[in-house]
Structure 1
Amino acid sequence: MVEPFTLATTFLKNAPVRMTGADEMAGLEAVLRRTWDNARAAWPGVDLPAEVFVRHLSMRLSSQELGGPLALLLEHLVLADLYIACACVNGVAGAIEALEQHYLGKLPHALAYLRLPEQILDEVCQSVRIHLLVGTAESRPRLGEYTGRGALLSWIRVIAVRMALKQGGVGREAPEENVMTLIEAFSEPSSNAEIDLIKRRYRKEFRQAVRDAFSALSDDQRHLLRLHFIDRLSTIEMGPLFQVNQSTISRWIKSARQTVYEGTKSRLQERLRLSTREFESLLAEIESQMDVGLSQVLDDGDGT
C-alpha cells in the first residue's frame, strides 16, 4: 500500500497552488518533511506535529511567491523562528518557555539603545508578552502574524519599540559615545592632505553638527536605520516588519539618510568659515562615508 502524501496534501489544502501527479506530490512531500525536520532540530523537546507546522507555513505564503520553486522560497525564511512561533500559538508544551528564554528574555538588552527608564522598559516588555501570546478583545495573539520573513527577535523588537514610542519613553538625543565613534571613522588617513587637515581642524564643530543632525531624526527613523545598518536587515526583510512594501522601506531609508546629510551640511555651513573649495571637499568626504558613519553612529555597542 502506497503511503499517502500527508504533508503535501495538508500544504495544498491551504496554499494557493495546485499540483497533479505522484512525482510532483512525492517531491513536495520530501521538501516539506525536510523543512519540518530542520526546523524541529533547533528546538529539542518542543514537539510540534509536522502537519500543524506545514499548515501554519502554507497559510503564510502568497500565490506570487509560490510561482517559483518551493525549496528556493523556503531558503529565504527563518524556519526555526517560524516553528517556535507556531508551537506557541498552538500551545505545544515547552514552546512558551523557549520563547521566553531565547526571545522575550532578551528584549531588555535588545532595547537598551533606547535608554528607557527601568519602569517603562518593564512595562513595555510585559505589554509585548501580552500582545504576542494573549491578544486583546480586538485582536488575536499577534505572534500568529509572524511569517518567518526576517528574524523573530527583530520582528518582536519592532513591536516593542512602537509600544515604547506610544508611552513616550524614548529619548531623542544621540549618545555622545556614538558621535565620537562616527568622528573616529572620519579620522582615518586619507590620500588628500587638505581633507585630513580640514577634519582635524574642525573636529569639534563637525561632532556637534553630526549630533544635532541625528537628534533631528524621528525615533522611527533612527530605529529604521538601526535595523538596516546594524541588524543588517534587507529592505525585503524589513517590509513585513513594518507592514509596507520594499519600495516604501527603501524610500524611508533614503529619506532618513538624506536628512542626516543635509542636516550636517547646513549646520557646518552655518558654523564654519571655509572657502568654497574647502567646504566642497569636506562635503564630498561626508557623503562618501555616510553609510559607514550611519552604521557606527547607530551602533551603541550593546551587541544586539
Structure 2
Amino acid sequence: MRDESTADDASGGAPAADPDRVALQARIYADGRAAWPDLDLAPEAFGAHAERHAAELAAAHAADFYLACACWLRIAGASAAIQARHGAELEAVLKSRNVPAAQRDDLRQALWEKLLVGRAGAPAKIGDYAGRGPLGGWLRVAAVRMALNFREQARADRLVPAPELDEAQHPASPDPELSFLKSQYRREVEQALRDALAGLGTDERNVLRLYFLDRLSIDRIAAVYGVHRATAARWVTRGREALLRGTQALLERQLKVERAEVDSILGLVRSQLELSMSGLFRGSE
C-alpha cells in the first residue's frame, strides 16, 4: 500500500519540482535578466510562463524568451523594447513584400497589436513564442504572414493597383523572409511535404503530379481523365488541401512548436507550394 506520509512533500501534498527543470529555468531567467536588467520581471511570474513552454525550454534563446515573457506579462518597457529592437526589421519585411507605403503604417500597427497587445477573445501572440529560434525570426515570419494576407485581401478588394500586386507576386529580387524560413525549417518542411505526399492516395498523387510537375491546366487534366473540368478542379483542390493538412500535422509533431507558429510556417509553404512540389516530384523520378 502507498505510504501517504512520505509520498508527498512537506508543502501540503504537491509533488516535488523537477530539480533539473528548476535549474534550467533559473539559468534562463538569470541570462535574460542580465540582458534586460531594466525589465522588472519577478522570478515566480517568469517560472509560471516558462512552464507553458517546458518542452522547448532547453533550446530557448534566453534573452529573447525573457523579453517575450516580460511583454506577455505586461511588464513596463517590454513592449517598447521589442518595437525598438525589431521595428526596422518588420518595416523592411512589409516593404520587401511590396505593401504600399500608404498602407504600411496601418498594417504595422495592426501587427504590433496582434503580437504584443491582443484583442478581445484573442490574447497577444507573443505568449506563443517558445524561444526555439531568435525572436526576430519569429516576428519576421508573423510579418510575412500578415503581408501575404493583406495582399490577398487587397487583390480581392481591389484596393491596390494591379501593377503593384503583380510586382509583389513576382518580386525582382530574392525574398529575404522566405530565405529565412528555408534556413530555419528547410529540412523539416521538405520531409513533412514528402511524408504527406506519400500518405495521399495514388489518384491524388497522380493528379497533383500532372498539375505541379507536368504543368497541365485544369482543362487538360479533365481531358486526360475524361471528366468535367469542375471535377478535375475539385480533385486538384482536394489534393492540395489534403497535402497541406498532412504537412501541418507532421510539422506540429516534428517541430513541437505552438500551433500559431506552425500556421505561420504553413502559410509561407502554401505561398511557395508550386515550386516545392515540382521539386519533390522531380526528386522522386
Q: TM-score range by the shorter chain?
A: 0.5 to 0.7
Alignment of 1:174 onto 2:208: no
Distance 1:85 1:143, change over 3 A: same
Q: How far is the alpha carbon of 1:173 from its aligned partner?
A: 1.0
Distance 1:53 1:108, change over 3 A: same
Alignment of 1:226 onto 2:179: yes
Aligned equivalents of 1:52 and 1:104: distance in 2?
26
Aligned equivalents of 1:34 and 1:101: distance in 2?
26
Aligned equivalents of 1:115 and 1:246: distance in 2?
20
Aligned identity (percent) is 27
Q: How far is the alpha carbon of 1:252 from its aligned partner?
A: 9.4
Distance 1:166 1:60, change over 3 A: same
Q: Deviations over 1:191-243 (max 9, x none)?
A: xxxxxxxxxxxxxxxxxxxxxxxxxxxxxxx78842333x5445366964642
* Structure with the largest fraction of helix: 2
1:60 aligned residue: 53
Does the 8 Å CA contact 1:110/1:157 hold for their aligned counterparts? Answer: yes
One of 44, 47, 52 as aligned partner of 1:51 = 44
Unaligned runs of at least 5 residues, structure 1: 1-8, 66-72, 179-221, 266-286, 288-304
What TM-score do the two structures reach when normalised by structure 2? 0.54
Q: 1:1-304 residue pairs with structure 2 within 5 A?
A: 19=16, 25=19, 27-61=20-54, 65=55, 74-168=57-151, 171-175=168-172, 177-178=173-174, 225-229=178-182, 231-233=183-185, 235=188, 240=258, 242-243=261-262, 256-259=275-278
Tell me which moved more, 48-57 or 162-171: 162-171
Distance 1:261 1:56, change over 3 A: closer
Aligned equivalents of 2:94 and 2:136: distance in 1?
11
| 3-state SS of 1:243 partner | helix
Which amino acid in structure 2 is aligned with residue 46 of structure 1?
L
Does the 8 Å CA contact 1:238/1:249 hold for their aligned counterparts? Answer: no
Paired residues in the alignment total 190
Q: CA RMSD in A?
A: 3.9
Does the 8 Å CA contact 2:65/2:129 hold for their aligned counterparts? Answer: yes
